[in-house]
Structure 1
Amino acid sequence: MAMRKVYSEIKGMKVKEVPNYVKPMLSMDYVKKAFQRGLDNYNSKYIQTDSIEPLYHVCFGGMIFSYLVALPNERRHLAHKEHGNH
């Protein structure tokens, strides 16, 4: 949704105006505030409502993370098998 908002705002601008619009968004202070806003929204949407979804987020996030960590090793293993050296 945020990208859609940014796109709709940039769409009406001239090319010379875009850097002045984007530059403040790249500052460390803006990123910190945006991250804090996201945490506050997550807290109000899931934590304060006693939802079970944060548990799902942790479980699926852990599965995805472990898959990504093991992926290079699996690719090396498959490449090794592909060459007939099992």
Structure 2
Amino acid sequence: MLKDREIYRRTLAKWGEEAQYDQAVEECAELIAALKHFRRGKVGAERVVEELADVCLMTGQLAFMFGEENVRAAVRAKLEKLSDLLENS
């Protein structure tokens, strides 16, 4: 089985960065729609989970494209900010 980074590398080689940006936007839009439908009782949780999995794959690929350490650092900073908000509210 291929490792995530190898899959991301091969995906970029096959379809290119621009296509993957567009795919990420499409997957995010599908998750948004699924969440809206879930709140209205039109779809079950399994639909949201499927769309969330697609978004997770795309965010993994975007992190690969933009630099995984850059993303990890940004996430750490955001978590620290959230922690401060929770402590001070």
Query: What TM-score results when the alignment is normalised by the length of structure 2?
Result: 0.45
User: Which gives a bigger RCO, structure 1 or 2 (Cα 8 Å, sep 6+)?
Assistant: 2
Structure of larger gyration radius: 1
TM-score between the two structures when normalised by the length of structure 1: 0.46
